Amino acid sequence: MAIDKKEQYTDFEKPIIDLYNKIEELKRVSAETGVDMTGEIESLQKRVESLYKVTMKDLTPYQRLQIARHPKRPTTLDLISGVFDDWFEMKGDRLYRDDPSIIGGIAKFSGISVVFIGHQKGNDTKSNVYRNFGMPHPEGYRKAMRLMRHAQKFNLPLITFIDTPGAYPGIEAEERGQSNAIAESICLMSLLSVPSLAIVIGEGGSGGALAISVADRIVMFENSVYSVISPEGCASILFKDAKFADKAASALKMTSYDLLSLGIIDEIIEEPLGGAHRNKDLTIEKTKECIKRNISNLLSLSDEERRRAKWNKYANMGRYISPSTE
């Protein structure tokens, strides 16, 4: 396990960092004094590793959300530059402007051409302002729709990367039809017949995430979240105070494990110990494997088979009591 002290750590990682510092201290003392402490160091290292594993396994949903929102978490651009052999970004919605909080284009992946779309967050203040913190305006979704039509026209698989706190709530977004842009995008994507795969890589924030996630298969990074509303928003509306966000995060069932067991998503992509940002190369490898397997499975079906399976998938979403279906 490699720990870089310059990185940002979450609260629940503090005890692990303390232990790690102790190991460093022992190593230094051992080197200075010439006393052999290999045994102590090794046993401590084992302890750190197992503590880290247990900590990560037992994270509360709200703690997991902190990993999903980690400033160093790989973004769509980080992933596609590793996952794709080559790619060409296509910008603009041809109606108003280019929205930098959604990117997309055409790419080469394992010898085939694919279309990709993804929310794009920044990794520092300046780039986050440019990317609007990954919160798209209507033109972002209209660009996404242009790319979906492109995929359908040229019969190319579509891969989307989901990472947004939500669609932007602002005056201009409303004026230009945020609701309509999201609704049209959901509708269009739900009826595509080309193979499609949605990967939730960080935050799956409500309708703004759903707009580009109505795919044949939905997979989630282990520590990502996908929710109908942010836990903060839910807490302030339902619990009457935003400070209950941790409670809301648990109640909403927004983690990858919860959503897999509820049948909302199809698969979880395991993350390196500590989260995707701790080992980007490994994250990229796992993502690549997942895309390859899913796209090749989907390509083995006919258009009609995929269309029917997708229809059934979304038609069956929901839990209710009905005498006729019992």
Partner 1 sequence: MLEKFFNVKKKEIPGGLWTKCPNCNNAIYTRELNDNLKVCHHCNFHFRLTVQERIDITFDSFEEMFSEILPVDSLNFVDTMPYSERLKEAQYKTKREEAIVVGVGIINGKSIAAGILDFDFIGGSMGSVVGEKIFRITNYAKENRLPLILFSSSGGARMQEGMFSLMQMAKTAMVIGKFKDDGGLYISVLLHPTTGGVSASFATLGDIIIAEPGALIGFAGPRVIEQTIRQKLPQGFQRSEYLLEHGMIDAVIERKALKETLEKLVSWHGY
Question: Are 214 and 264 spatial neighbours (Cβ–Cβ below 8 Å)?
Answer: no
Binding of residue 102 to partner 1 (CB under 8 A):
no
End-to-end CA gap in the chain: 51
Exactly one of 147, 159, 252, 295 binds partner 1 (CB under 8 A); that residue is 252
CB of 237 to partner 1, least distance (A): 7
Number of residues that bind partner 1 (CB under 8 A): 55
Binding of residue 319 to partner 1 (CB under 8 A):
yes
Distance CA(229)–CA(234), nearest Å, equals 6
CB of 12 to partner 1, least distance (A): 24
- Interactions with partner 1, residue window 166-205 (CB under 8 A): 167-171, 173-180, 182-184, 186-188, 190-191
Which residue in 258, 44, 213, 259 sits closest to 117, CA to CA? 213
Kind of pairing, strands 112-119 and 102-109?
antiparallel
DSSP assignment of 25-49: HHHHHHHHH----HHHHHHHHHHHH
Exactly one of 17, 44, 251, 282 binds partner 1 (CB under 8 A); that residue is 251
The contacts found for 277-284 with CB under 8 angstroms, 24 or more apart, are 277/7, 277/70, 277/72, 277/73, 277/74, 280/74, 280/78, 280/82, 281/82, 283/74, 283/79, 283/221, 284/74, 284/79, 284/82, 284/83
Question: Are 102 and 212 spatial neighbours (Cβ–Cβ below 8 Å)?
Answer: yes
CB of 273 to partner 1, least distance (A): 27
Integer Rg of the chain from CA: 22
Binding of residue 2 to partner 1 (CB under 8 A):
no
Binding of residue 123 to partner 1 (CB under 8 A):
no
Comparing CB distances to partner 1, the nearer of 143 and 310 is: 310
Binding of residue 129 to partner 1 (CB under 8 A):
no
Comparing CB distances to partner 1, the nearer of 103 and 252 is: 252
> In the block, which residue shows the tokens 């019969």?
155
Question: Are 1 and 53 spatial neighbours (Cβ–Cβ below 8 Å)?
Answer: no
Region near partner 1 per CB under 8 A, out of 38-46, 87-95, 153-161, 308-316: 308-316
CB of 276 to partner 1, least distance (A): 21
Comparing CB distances to partner 1, the nearer of 54 and 321 is: 321
CB of 5 to partner 1, least distance (A): 35
Q: Following CA atoms 227, 230, 232, 234 in sequence, which dihedral angle do they give, to the nearest 10 degrees?
A: -60
Binding of residue 31 to partner 1 (CB under 8 A):
no
Backbone torsions φ then ψ of 219, nearest 5 degrees = -120, 155
Question: Are 192 and 151 spatial neighbours (Cβ–Cβ below 8 Å)?
Answer: yes
- Interactions with partner 1, residue window 208-237 (CB under 8 A): 210-211, 214, 226-229, 233-234, 237
Exactly one of 6, 57, 126, 240 binds partner 1 (CB under 8 A); that residue is 240
> In the block, which residue shows the tokens 């799956």?
204
Tokens of 264: 């909302």
- H or E element in which residue 225 lies: strand 225-227
Binding of residue 259 to partner 1 (CB under 8 A):
yes
Residues that bind partner 1 (CB under 8 A): 167-171, 173-180, 182-184, 186-188, 190-191, 206-207, 210-211, 214, 226-229, 233-234, 237-240, 248, 251-254, 259, 262, 264, 311, 314-315, 317-324
